[in-house]
Amino acid sequence: MTAIPIRKKEMTAINTPLVFPGRDSAEWESLSAFCREGVHYLIVAGGGGRWISESRDLRRWQELRPLSEEDMAALENAEGEHRSSNCSIVWDEELDLYVKYELHKDKTTAGTQICLAVGRDLKHWQCFARDKATAPERGIVYDGDYYRALPFGEYICKESLPEGVPVFDIRDYGAVADGATLCTEPFMAAAEAARDAGGGIVLVTGGHYCVGSVWIYDNTTLWIAMDSALCASKDLSNYDNALLACIDARNVSIRGGGKIIGNGEYFAYLPLKRPLLEPLEKTKLPPHLFDPMGYPVDTIRYAYRSRIRYAEDKYEEGLRPIERPMYTVWMCGCEGVSIENIVIEGALDWTLVLDCSQNVKIRDIVINGNRHVANTDGIDIMGCSQVEIDHCFISCADDGICIKSPRRREHDGIAIKGCQAEMRGTNDIQVRDCTVVSVMNAFKIGTETYFDIENVTLQRCKFMLPDIFPGTVSGISIESADGGNVRNIEICDVEMNRVCCPLFICLNKRNKYGFGDDRERRAYGAIEHVRIERINAQAVEVPGMITGFRDTAEETVVEGRVKDIRIQDYYAEYRDNREELHPEKTVYENVTDYPENNAFGDVPAYGLYIRHGENVTVGNCHVVPRSMNQRECIVWED
């Protein structure tokens, strides 16, 4: 194994625009640059004369003096390339980079700035621009936003670079490890050099590097060393669809023990309320989902919704939507993907997105999200096959592990462009030995279910929300809402702590996408062949639910039933606080709305409420209710 190489010289020595002693501004007409024995010479013309300055470190420049014949003779053999009257490029052997000098009009004065950039390929130039937040006031982090007890040592370790693989260090292309200088161009120069060489390692080491949207390509490993990071620019103008994208690539991996930091707080508005650090005295559900916030204000739905940082005007404050990037890490149309030994922190939106890819292995990663930034799912899997997720720790605001099959790449007004992979069904997904800390659903199939989702296995996982309140919305959520068939699901050996609803299975016909030519015309999908065994849930708040639907809105009654559902060895114990119930005579039929366990109002059971089912069996079910409970454990209807 080889050690990470040490650079000869860091880019932090370089300043731009250039500052000359005694010259605040000037109207320069042309420039030319030369380099001799490591010293840079700059000649500028303007104001009826020609002037010269020199610098050895590109940080401090001598006072400009009139150009003499002796200067011209001394520079006769110096290297320089004159591109135009306002641009000159020289090669610096010490930096092992090209240095470009260019004239720019100064927007704040009547003068002309001389700007400096470096690059290796004459295409991607490091201009040393500093990152500027689009909205710096949004970057506030409250106590309770992040989960503090992350067990990094159980998942993340220091690694050495493998021998015999070409290494493309982003510092060799001009990257600056200060977390504030934009390094998008140096990163892309290294990534494209690896691509053009047939593959290799794009190395991120030696500190934190600020980037906008960047890509990696075939046969590439993005290696982020421990104690180093790719940090998301806080400027929205620096993004396309994602922070880090890999599109239509083969044999790609991300690893190294370092971090990808999204700075998600800067891409959403501040919440109405700060995180809730004390438990609610009572548990109360809204009557049903008649508004997104979950009013009245004393419901558990409102308690968490009012603490979310949205990119839209959910709190009706007259704010414009924020056009934030949709993905933090996006693997689209790829085959042969490995992501391990990496931390993804502070997602911009969805965190790790597996999109229409196959043969994907995710292992030993930590997702450390702000648990109040809206839509920041942990791992999203859509249109994929042969996916293995093993031994990961996920802390996030939205769904922890979410398997879906949308018709289009979009949500909340954000649409993805430029990806050629067609959406399709999701098949053969395995999840093992993962821990999820989530405000919403720890493990979810749905809600977007236009295509089929089949053959999903989840084993030996732990779901919890130990430190903020109320608890996780649901532990296991299986939904078909948009016409897709969800079938052959096996879940076993799951422990939950402070998860409000341990189990939610719901079939309805929201039909978000309508009907397209790519799928047979059917009004609703199916949920069938589901096995759930050995569930142990502590400190629950509301009952589990298994439900289809009955639609009486039309002349002919339409009924959708969940089929062949087996629940075995199901144990749950309530948090013994007060509950306030307002049961309706008939439990709400959520036929076309967004399916969620707290959107139906109160049900007549405290353990499991089962409705519109066919061949649904429950064996060895034991639920310990609140001491004030007056409901039955299991209620079957229809």
Judge whether 610 lies within some domain.
no
pLDDT mean over 77-86: 79
HSE-up of 252 (CA within 13 Å, CB side)? 26
Number of domains in the chain: 2
Instruction: List pLDDT tens digits, range 25-37.
Output: 678 889 999 998 8
Instruction: List pLDDT tens digits, range 568-588.
Output: 999 999 999 999 999 999 999
Torsion angle of the four alpha carbons 226, 227, 230, 234, in this order, in degrees rounded to the nearest 10: 150
Host domain of residue 245: 124-271+323-377+395-400
Least confident of 33-42, 220-229, 259-268, 325-334: 33-42
Judge whether 171 lies within some domain.
yes
Whether residue 204 contacts residue 222, with contact meaning beta carbons closer than 8 Å, is answered with: yes
Do residues 64 and 171 both lie within one domain? no
Judge whether 85 lies within some domain.
yes
Do residues 133 and 115 both lie within one domain? no
Judge whether 283 lies within some domain.
no
Q: What is the pLDDT of residue 113?
A: 87
Judge whether 460 lies within some domain.
no
Do residues 108 and 154 both lie within one domain? no
Do residues 134 and 199 both lie within one domain? yes
Do residues 45 and 170 both lie within one domain? no
Do residues 229 and 348 both lie within one domain? yes
Do residues 80 and 34 both lie within one domain? yes
pLDDT mean over 309-336: 94
HSE-up of 417 (CA within 13 Å, CB side)? 4
Task: Count CB-CB contacts under 10 A for residue 94.
Answer: 11
Mean model confidence pLDDT for the chain: 92
Judge whether 165 lies within some domain.
yes
Task: Name the β-bridge partners of 130.
Answer: 181
Do residues 102 and 138 both lie within one domain? no
Of 366, 400, 434, the residue at which a domain comes to its end is 400
Do residues 40 and 183 both lie within one domain? no
Of 119, 136, 171, the residue at which a domain comes to its end is 119
Q: What is the pLDDT of residue 110?
A: 66
Judge whether 42 lies within some domain.
yes
Prior bond of 502 cis (ω within 30°): no
Do residues 172 and 89 both lie within one domain? no
State the pLDDT confidence band at 413, using cuts at 50, 70 and 90: low
| CATH code where residue 370 lies | 2.160.20.10
Nearest CA among 454, 238, 226, 230 for reference residue 325: 238
Judge whether 19 lies within some domain.
yes
Do residues 111 and 43 both lie within one domain? yes
Burial of residue 196 (number of CB atoms within 10 Å: 0-12, 13-18, 19+): exposed
Do residues 339 and 235 both lie within one domain? yes
Of 88, 119, 150, the residue at which a domain comes to its end is 119
